[in-house]
């Protein structure tokens, strides 16, 4: 009989999971990516072969954005027996609010979030405690206002609120311990039975913000020269500059002591519809793709897959131009059949922009890829060089770029919303690029994965990546030193355009050069390693100073973004070394910051 019941229970979970997964439009593989549950486990659950652990059910429910009960229709066998200690803590911790502002809400709130699913009684008592304490906090604020505005009654009202809250709390502590019952009069039902965790998350954020404001908390961040700036001041300056320069949306991160010290998003992901940008909004990364790919390449070098200085052609059993293209264009190398120089190109040259390839083949008069000059002899920014290295690696490993990046970069760093290709789940929260007239560009979602240009990421994810760079994760210290070592000096007047072919000594003081995937400058605070990104309506810049353990990231979905970068580098980091002229930044004319 027990075996039959277990089979019926499994079948219920099986059908529910299958239905909800398809309703959300996820494949088994996509649902696996959103959780730590393997594809094989999901398959076995849907076939009714296993009875999943409660933790597994919770993970799946969270990914599907449903309640656990929507999956687990039977009575939960792991439901915890009522424990007096948890009821005591739920009802008793609000008293700490007498010592810590808003602690009367924070402490029971966190306990409730942690214990509410263990037993329905914890959930019921926790909601009542939180609702009462929020109500009392509001009454206290009102009483304070009446104290200074209404003579007589105001004072009487003020001195009654706190004693009333304390007395009711003590009565309920005794009642909960003795009879497992509670009663909180005057409570406003801010958290109702069906709202649960979504309300709790929002409430937590609001309370933390209120606590910070109440306590006058504003973090101070140390800049390169040792001076400090408060987070409030930085926020104010960014907001001012964005408004004045009409920058539509921005993700801004400062790193200090090898950690994220300040991270915030501003403005809109879609200005015409007034939709706000946030940390989890998908942002087109453009050439930030190259910085990530350079780390992937060094990981494969460490694994013995390739050598930086071995001609890439030698790794393949036949000529690159003899392979039949599998993509719409980027792995078509038929034009190189007539080229006598490409066979000299190495992984180091691809990463250092010295292949001799144009940035993209459509920049050539005949749209055909060719090598200009001897490979390795001259800096010439080239997305094509990165794609060439990508294609060779894909043929060597039998794995696509996306698979390699997920395996070696994104999953180890917890970059759950990053990819070299568009994912359907990004559609719920992504940023449009904006032109200078406040119009949005059409979102390009059909790009094939390319190492030099197709990164899709978020403010949160790319900040994690830069933090990992400063902490020298993923690859060895020797490999990081290789990435941040100059491979070629740069003497061009500009990075792009006609003046990219003209030379100058203007940047000799900072020894402008290129490493492997990153531009480099020399400063009193050590090497600065930078990477930009450009696309229609997207302009990004990041720079890290490994020796100083500091860095900055600015990502904008606006054609006006770069106009405030030079100012923000000075304000946020005291970086006066980034070659803004070489980057072709046209500065916003701000009299306030001169």
Q: Smallest Cα–Cα separation from 482: which of 513, 515, 521, 527?
A: 515
Burial readout 382-404 (b: 16 or more C-beta within 10 A, e: otherwise): bbbbbbbbbbbbbbeeeebbbeb
Report residue 80 as tokens. Answer: 């915890």
Q: In the prediction, which pLDDT does 2 show?
A: 37
pLDDT for residue 455: 98
Q: Which residues pair with 263 in a beta bridge?
A: 253
The pLDDT of residue 594 is 52
Name residues whose C-beta falls within 8 Å of residue 253's C-beta, 6 or more positions apart in sequence.
Answer: 260, 262, 263, 264, 459, 462, 463, 466, 551, 552, 553
pLDDT confidence of residue 151 = 65
- Whether 215 shows a pLDDT value over 90: the answer reads no
Q: What is the distance between the alpha carbons of residues 210 and 553, in angstroms, rounded to a whole number?
A: 27
Task: Find out whether 301 and 347 touch, Cβ atoms under 8 Å.
Answer: yes
Cα-Cα-Cα-Cα dihedral sign, residues 560, 265, 448, 310: positive
Find out whether 191 and 203 touch, Cβ atoms under 8 Å: yes
Q: What's the N-to-C CA distance of the chain in angstroms? A: 82
pLDDT above 90 for 322:
yes
**Amino acid 6: pLDDT:** 39
Q: 453-486, pLDDT tens digit by residue?
A: 999 999 999 999 999 999 999 999 999 999 999 9
Confidence of residue 82 (pLDDT cuts 50, 70, 90): low
Residue pair 271/280 in contact by the 8 Å Cβ criterion: no
- The band of 8, judged by pLDDT with boundaries at 50, 70 and 90, is very low
Mean pLDDT of 305-333: 97
Distance CA 520, CA 510 (A): 9
Query: What are 108-156's pLDDT values in tens digits?
Result: 888 888 787 777 888 889 899 999 999 988 888 888 887 777 766 767 7
At residue 242, the pLDDT reads 97
Does 7 score more than 60 pLDDT? no
| Distinct helix (H) and strand (E) counts, the chain | 19, 13
Q: Please state the φ and ψ torsions of residue 183, each to the nearest 5 degrees.
A: -150, 120
C-alpha closest to that of 159 among 169, 171, 147, 168 = 147
Predicted pLDDT of residue 592? 59
Residue recorded with tokens 């007395």: 167
Nearest one of 393, 394, 355 to 373, comparing CA atoms: 355
Q: For residue 579, what are its two tokens? A: 């070659």
pLDDT of residue 99: 83
Residue with tokens 């005591």: 88
Q: What is the pLDDT of residue 239?
A: 95
User: How big is the chain, counted in residues?
Assistant: 594
Task: Label residue 102 by pLDDT band (50, 70, 90).
Answer: confident
Task: With a cut of 90, say whether residue 11 has pLDDT above it.
Answer: no
Q: What percent of the chain has pLDDT over 70?
A: 90
pLDDT tens digits, 488-534: 999 999 999 999 999 999 999 999 999 999 999 999 999 999 999 99
3-class state of residue 518 by DSSP? coil
Cβ(42)–Cβ(28) below 8 Å? yes
Cα angle 583, 587, 591; round to 5: 155
Q: What is the pLDDT of residue 302?
A: 97
For residue 375, the cross-strand partners are: none
In this prediction, residue 400 carries a pLDDT of: 97
Q: Note the pLDDT tens digit of each residue in 144-199.
A: 887 777 766 767 787 888 899 999 999 999 998 888 889 999 898 888 755 444 55
Q: Tell me if 104 sits within 8 A of 136, measured CB to CB.
A: yes
Of the candidates 492, 546, 555, the one whose C-alpha atom is nearest the C-alpha of residue 523 is 546
Element (H, E) at 594: none
With 50 as the cut, is the pLDDT of residue 80 above it? no
Ordered DSSP codes for 173-201: HHHHHHHS----TT---SS-TTTHHHHHH
Distance of alpha carbon 41 from alpha carbon 7, whole angstroms: 16
pLDDT above 60: residue 203? no
Q: Is the pLDDT of residue 85 over 90?
A: no
pLDDT for the residue numbered 540: 98
State residue 164's pLDDT score: 92
User: Which tokens hold the place of 211?
Assistant: 């606590």
Tell me what pLDDT residue 591 has: 61
- 591 burial (CB, 10 Å; 0-12 / 13-18 / 19+) is exposed
Query: What does the pLDDT look like over 563-576, one tens digit per residue?
Result: 999 999 999 999 99
Least confident window among 76-85, 256-265, 428-437: 76-85
> Has residue 291 got a pLDDT over 90?
yes
In whole angstroms, give the CA distance from residue 319 to residue 165.
Answer: 80
Q: Are 527 and 507 in contact (CB under 8 A)?
A: no
Contact 403, 449 (CB under 8 A): no
pLDDT of residue 79: 40
**Residue from 325, 319, 322, 365 nearest 345 by CA:** 319
Tell me the mean pLDDT in the region 526-555: 98
Q: Is the pLDDT of residue 202 over 70?
A: no
Whether 77 and 166 have beta carbons less than 8 Å apart is answered as: no
Q: How far is CA 347 from CA 297, 360, 473, in A?
A: 8, 18, 21
pLDDT digits (tens, 9 = 90+) for 349-394: 999 999 999 999 999 999 999 999 999 999 999 999 999 999 999 9
Residue 507 has, within 13 A of its CA and on its CB side, a CA count of: 26
Tell me the pLDDT band of 558, cut-offs 50, 70 and 90. very high
For residue 369, give the nearest of 359, 380, 379 by alpha carbon. Answer: 359
199 within 8 A of 208, measured Cβ to Cβ? no
- What is the per-residue burial (b if ≥16 Cβ within 10 Å, else e) of 20-58? bbeeeebebebbbbbbebeeebbeebbebeeebeeebbb
> Which structure tokens are listed for 358?
């144009």
What is the DSSP secondary structure assignment for residue 271, as one 8-state letter? Answer: G
């Amino acid at each position: 009989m027990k075996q039959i019941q277990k089979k019926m229970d499994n079948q219920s979970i099986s059908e529910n999971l299958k239905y909800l997964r398809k309703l959300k439009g996820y494949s088994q593989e996509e649902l696996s990516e959103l959780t730590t549950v393997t594809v094989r486990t999901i398959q076995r659950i849907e076939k009714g072969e296993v009875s999943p652990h409660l933790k597994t059910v919770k993970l799946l429910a969270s990914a599907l954005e449903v309640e656990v009960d929507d999956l687990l229709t039977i009575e939960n066998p792991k439901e915890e027996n009522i424990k007096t200690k948890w009821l005591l803590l739920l009802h008793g911790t609000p008293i700490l609010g007498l010592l810590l502002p808003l602690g009367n809400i924070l402490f029971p709130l966190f306990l409730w979030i942690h214990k509410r699913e263990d037993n329905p009684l914890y959930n019921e008592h926790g909601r009542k405690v939180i609702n009462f304490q929020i109500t009392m906090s509001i009454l206290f604020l009102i009483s304070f206002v009446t104290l200074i505005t209404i003579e007589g009654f105001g004072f009487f009202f003020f001195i009654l609120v706190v004693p009333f809250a304390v007395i009711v709390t003590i009565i309920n502590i005794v009642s909960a311990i003795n009879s497992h019952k509670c009663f909180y009069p005057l409570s406003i039902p801010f958290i109702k039975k069906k709202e649960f965790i979504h309300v709790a998350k929002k409430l937590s954020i609001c309370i933390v913000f209120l606590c910070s404001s109440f306590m006058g908390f504003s973090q101070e961040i140390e800049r390169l020269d040792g001076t400090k700036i408060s987070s409030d001041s930085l926020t104010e300056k960014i907001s001012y500059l964005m408004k004045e320069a009409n920058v539509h949306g921005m993700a801004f991160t400062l790193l200090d002591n090898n950690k994220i010290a300040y991270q915030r998003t501003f403005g809109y992901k879609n200005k015409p519809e007034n939709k706000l940008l946030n940390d989890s909004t998908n942002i087109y990364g453009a050439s930030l793709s190259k910085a990530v790919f350079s780390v992937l390449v060094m990981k494969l070098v460490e694994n013995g897959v390739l050598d930086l200085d071995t001609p890439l052609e030698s790794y393949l059993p036949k000529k690159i131009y003899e392979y039949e293209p599998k993509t719409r264009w980027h792995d078509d190398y038929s034009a190189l059949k007539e080229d006598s120089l490409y066979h000299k190109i190495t992984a180091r040259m691809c990463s250092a922009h010295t292949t001799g390839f144009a940035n993209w083949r459509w920049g050539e008069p005949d749209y055909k890829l060719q090598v200009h000059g001897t490979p390795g002899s001259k800096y010439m920014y080239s997305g094509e060089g990165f794609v060439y290295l990508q294609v060779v690696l894909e043929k060597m490993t039998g794995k696509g770029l996306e698979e390699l990046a997920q395996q070696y970069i994104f999953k180890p760093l917890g970059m759950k919303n990053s990819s070299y290709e568009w994912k359907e789940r990004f559609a719920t929260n992504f940023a449009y690029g904006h032109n200078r007239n406040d119009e949005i560009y059409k979102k390009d979602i059909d790009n094939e994965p390319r190492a030099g240009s197709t990164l899709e990421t978020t403010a949160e994810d790319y900040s994690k990546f830069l933090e990992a760079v400063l902490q020298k994760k993923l690859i060895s210290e020797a490999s990081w030193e290789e990435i941040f070592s100059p491979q070629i000096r740069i003497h061009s007047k500009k990075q792009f355009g006609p003046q990219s072919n003209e030379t100058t000594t203007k940047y000799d003081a900072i020894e402008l050069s290129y490493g492997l995937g990153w531009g480099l400058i020399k400063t009193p605070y050590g090497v600065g390693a930078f990477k930009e990104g450009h696309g229609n309506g997207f302009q990004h810049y990041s720079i890290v100073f490994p020796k100083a353990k500091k860095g900055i990231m600015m990502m904008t979905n606006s054609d006006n973004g770069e106009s405030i970068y030079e100012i923000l580098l000075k304000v946020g980091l005291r970086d006066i070394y980034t070659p803004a002229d070489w980057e072709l930044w046209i500065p916003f004319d701000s009299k306030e910051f001169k």
